[in-house]
Amino acid sequence: MLPLLRHARYVLSENPVTGLAFGLFGLFLFAAIFGPLLAPYNPMQSNAAMALKPPSAAHWFGTDQLGRDIFSRVLVATRLDLTIAFASVILAFLLGALSGVAAGYFGGWTDRVVGRLADTIMAFPLFVLAMGIVAALGNEVINIVIATAIINFPLYARVARAEANVRRDAGFVEAARLSGNGETRVLLGHILPNIMPIMMVQMSLTMGYAILNAAGLSFIGLGVRPPAAEWGIMVAEGANFIQSGEWWIALFPGLALMLAVFCFNLLGDGLRDIIDPRMRT
């Protein structure tokens, strides 16, 4: 553990961009955990007398058409958006990585079933498929998580299959078999840990996509229901006021979305450098 921590410190100190990504991630995580406690105003409370006020000392990001404080809503929305992203990515990893590793390792009918399932999902425009799933199941948070996990399933399954296919005849796998390990133990104890660095990069990249997917569904009215504080809803509400000059309603939640996606895209490279054993030689 100590060598890994020393290597992580070295990677962060030598690569300022990676350090910035981890700093942004820490900031978003802090906002997700403590945002509701730190919000200066109740994000759900409307005040008609303060409607459509520009950014000021009292309201840093201004107020929306109902007089709600936008800074408080952006801060509180971090928890919901990151929860959706984390849950969907973990579900996609469990389904896609495990089935992909099994397909690449065992081959045969397992490979054909997983491959055809991934091809079927990839045959649809992914955002349209997510729209259809949420429309059929209902626009609840759990259904948004399921839809996002389903459209990300082929990404994990294909990467895991390719990596497992390369490693199934490697020397360390043969050694594990000769030591008396069963196929399941070889698969989960030797092959899966060796493909985790590239899977961690994939998880980081799809975190940004999951946030965009959830915000996009909310933007078109199929995501989280108003008046909940969510970045996509706030951008959709603000889009109606851009032409009349109230630019701040859509700008600040849009910036939060942009920074979140930027953070997770950069985070992937840093995680690869820290986790991959070959980078520590």
Domains identified in the chain and CATH numbers: 2-40+63-280 (1.10.3720.10)
Q: What is the pLDDT of residue 279?
A: 54
Q: Tell me the C-alpha distance between 236 and 249, whole Å.
A: 9
Q: What is the pLDDT of residue 228?
A: 84
Q: State CA 4 to chain mean position distance.
A: 24
HEC string for the chain: CHHHHHHHHHHHHHCHHHHHHHHHHHHHHHHHHHHHHHCCCCCCCCCHHHCCCCCCCCCCCCECCCCCEHHHHHHHHHHHHHHHHHHHHHHHHHHHHHHHHHHHHHCHHHHHHHHHHHHHHHCCCHHHHHHHHHHHHCCCHHHHHHHHHHHHHHHHHHHHHHHHHHHCCCHHHHHHHHCCCCHHHHHHHHHHHHHHHHHHHHHHHHHHHHHHHHHHHHHCCCCCCCCCCCHHHHHHHHHCCCCCCCCHHHHHHHHHHHHHHHHHHHHHHHHHHHHCHHHHC
Contact call for residues 212 and 261 (beta carbons, < 8 A): yes
**Half-sphere exposure of residue 67: CA atoms within 13 angstroms, side-chain side:** 7
Query: Which pTM value belongs to this model?
Result: 0.86
Mean pLDDT per segment of 10 residues, for the chain of length 281 residues? 60 71 89 90 87 89 91 93 92 91 87 91 90 89 92 91 84 79 79 82 86 89 84 89 87 92 81 61 53
Token reading at 76: 């509180």
